[in-house]
Amino acid sequence: MAGTLYIVSTPIGNLEDITLRALRILGEADLIAAEDTRHSLKLLNHYGISKPMLSYWGEREKVRSQEIIRRLQAGQTVALISDAGTPGISDPGAVVVRKAVEENIKVVPIPGPSALIAALSLSGLPADVFTFIGFLPPKKAMRQKVLKDLSLEKSTLVFYEAPHRIMETLTDMEQIFAGRRAALVKEITKIHEEILRGRISEIIGTLGKTKIAGEYVIVLEGRPPMNKVSVTDALDEIDSLMKKGLKRKEAVKKIAADYELSSKELYGRSLDKSP
């Protein structure tokens, strides 16, 4: 009988942010598959856990996933962890989980800390509906394209960003989302945790006077409500909804209702606009 793959969330900074269940699973597992064993040993040693380990970082994940699946098929219990947070969420681990699912191996989540949720909870921005983007493309042209595609999104947007790109990303955001409110959270749960709130331009000005280091989460206000909208903007929103999977008729119906426009006119204009 096949074993069980546990997806174990680990602290994103403060080592105290781990559940009792996560500690039990790590202590009981036959194998701990870690993104980087050297990094994970700090956590395991802190709690006196000593177990066989296997690393699967970077390109190793494709190869090591086969070894992990072999262990699971042999009946072993495997705890999958990343350096911080939840495996597979802007972290390695998705390949292992996908292969386990394909092999009908039981996969069990052990939830815990999340930089995404932590940042959203203290941002002061609407959190009832949000869109998680994760890391943006590193190249400027691609990054700006993604941001422009998100410019009509009404829900709060959440991004991760590395310190060496944070100013470039915020500058692009100010260009595309000028005037919107945002929250920039640095080093969540760590000693140097810090949050900046305000308009994007204000955050850029403040950040430029501080030491840029550590990991960042950007929480950005969605597109503010519009009392009036041009047909051109309405058509852009229809295109955006269709890219997300809605059929043309459904997208037209939604946008027409949102802005009290003629669905018949919008549908016709939308067809005319199509290549």
The per-residue pLDDT for 173 is: 96
**Cβ atoms 172, 166 nearer than 8 A:** no
**Cβ atoms 269, 244 nearer than 8 A:** no
The per-residue pLDDT for 32 is: 98
3-class DSSP assignment, residue 161: strand
The per-residue pLDDT for 185 is: 96
Residues 6+ apart with CB under 8 A from 159: 133, 134, 135, 136, 169, 217, 218, 220
Residue burial 91-108, b: 16+ Cβ < 10 Å; e: rest: bbbebbbebbeeeebebe
Q: Is the pTM of this model over 0.85?
A: no
Could you list the pLDDT tens digit for every one of the 275 residues in the chain?
889 999 999 999 999 999 999 999 999 999 999 999 999 999 999 999 999 999 997 777 888 999 999 999 999 999 999 999 999 998 899 999 999 999 999 999 999 999 999 999 999 999 999 999 999 999 999 999 999 999 888 899 999 999 999 999 999 999 999 889 999 999 999 999 999 999 999 999 999 888 898 899 999 999 876 656 678 888 888 888 888 888 999 888 888 877 778 888 888 888 877 65
User: What is the rounded distance in angstroms from the CA atom of residue 154 to the CA atom of residue 132?
Assistant: 13
User: What is the rounded distance in angstroms from the CA atom of residue 131 to the CA atom of residue 153?
Assistant: 9
150 by Cβ neighbours in 10 Å (0-12 / 13-18 / 19+) ranks as buried
Largest CA distance in the chain: 68
The per-residue pLDDT for 48 is: 97
Number of neighbouring beta carbons within 10 Å of residue 245: 8
The per-residue pLDDT for 59 is: 74
The per-residue pLDDT for 2 is: 85
Please name which of 116, 185, 175, 119 lies closest in space to residue 147, comparing C-alpha atoms.
175
The per-residue pLDDT for 25 is: 98
**Cβ atoms 119, 45 nearer than 8 A:** no
Length of the chain: 275
User: What is the rounded distance in angstroms from the CA atom of residue 92 to the CA atom of residue 7?
Assistant: 12
Q: How many CA atoms lie within 13 A of 17 on its CB side?
A: 18
Helix locations, 12-129, DSSP H: 20-28, 37-46, 60-73, 94-102, 115-123
CA distances from residue 214 to 32, 154, 220 in whole angstroms, order as listed: 26, 29, 19
The per-residue pLDDT for 228 is: 64
Domains belonging to the chain, first-starting first, are 4-113 (3.40.1010.10), 116-220 (3.30.950.10), 231-273 (no CATH)
